[in-house]
Amino acid sequence: MPDGCTVLENHHAPIIGYHRAPLSQKFGAPRQPNLVALTSVIEMLAPYDTPAAFAGLEAFSHVWISWQFHHNYVKNNIKENINKDIKTDNLANKNTATTKTTGFRPQVRPPRLGGNQKIGVFASRSMYRPSALGLSVVKLEHIKIVQGKALLVISGADMIDGTPIVDIKPYVAYSDALIEAASGFAPSAPERLEVTITESAYEQFLALADTEQTFENDQAVNIKQDTVAAFIGQIQSQLVLSDIDVIKALVAQDPRPAYRRTQINMPFTMRYKSVDVSFQLIAVDELQITAVVEVM
């Protein structure tokens, strides 16, 4: 190491904002960015919410977001996965010991590989990584100024509501888009399943949706609000007609655990905004939405 260099063993990055989104639970959230054009908002914290900090950013169509996996319940997940490893694998003793003492999981089971095959954590985008940091490129729809504060309206995020944001950078196509890059075990986007909705479920949705408002992903959200809380509240909870397409797109990603994907008529529930959406597999590669119920 050259003289004069300092190694920071623990770098503490400030939280500069929070992600506000229709999805409040991990189940149902896209596993990668830009698979579903889901509109959400990044609410900046003071002093990072000053509009001056974003001057020039709207010239970029996409941005990089650095964020924290804030729903990782490390102790429970470590215990659960240690038990799973002991039951299903003959791991080296040193690997098990390392996991028990430090919480570091050297290998994970990606859903893309069926949830059974193990690969190294650094060969994956697993949420259970030493830094607990995520990195996503999303579309920047609009920078909205409300009460003198900057709000970033984005689409395509794979983050849930309340996700802490630690950094934002512009996406630069000439250096960030490498079309010749190899993508290992994930060379292309996963295939979407066909999604249908029962007549009764659609009627439930219509009864709960505001039929006079819509959100457009290719332009600014078309609802004006005087306060930050009111604007974010609409993104998080107000059900509108166009949400049915978003719900179908989320279900089409098949958020079910890999080991349950062949089980016919096994019900699952995904929370979206102010409703719980129930769905199940009714035939090979076909999921059906069976109920849309308001969260009480």
pLDDT in tens, the chain (296 residues): 555 556 656 678 899 999 999 999 999 999 999 999 999 999 999 999 999 999 999 999 999 999 998 876 544 443 344 333 323 333 333 443 344 445 788 998 888 887 788 999 999 888 888 888 999 999 999 999 999 999 999 999 999 999 999 999 999 999 999 989 999 888 888 889 999 999 999 999 999 998 776 554 434 445 556 799 999 999 999 999 999 999 999 999 999 998 898 999 999 999 999 999 999 999 999 999 999 999 98
**Chosen domain end from 123, 147, 163:** 123
Q: Is residue 23 part of a domain?
A: yes
**Same domain (yes/no): 107, 189:** no
Distance CA 198, CA 207 (A): 14
Q: Which helix (H) or strand (E) holds 254?
A: none
Produce one character per residue of 279-293: b if its CB has 16 or more CB atoms within 10 Å, e if not.
bbbeeeeebbbbbbe
Handedness of CA 64, 54, 164, 277 (dihedral sign): negative
Global pTM value: 0.82
Please state whether beta strands 194-197 and 286-294 pair in parallel, antiparallel, or not at all (unpaired). parallel
Residue from 202, 201, 174 nearest 267 by CA: 201
Q: Is residue 4 part of a domain?
A: no
Q: Is residue 110 part of a domain?
A: yes
Classify residue 294 by its DSSP letter. E
Domain that holds residue 112: 74-123
Distance separating the N- and C-terminal Cα atoms of the chain: 59
**Same domain (yes/no): 47, 112:** no
**Same domain (yes/no): 242, 253:** yes
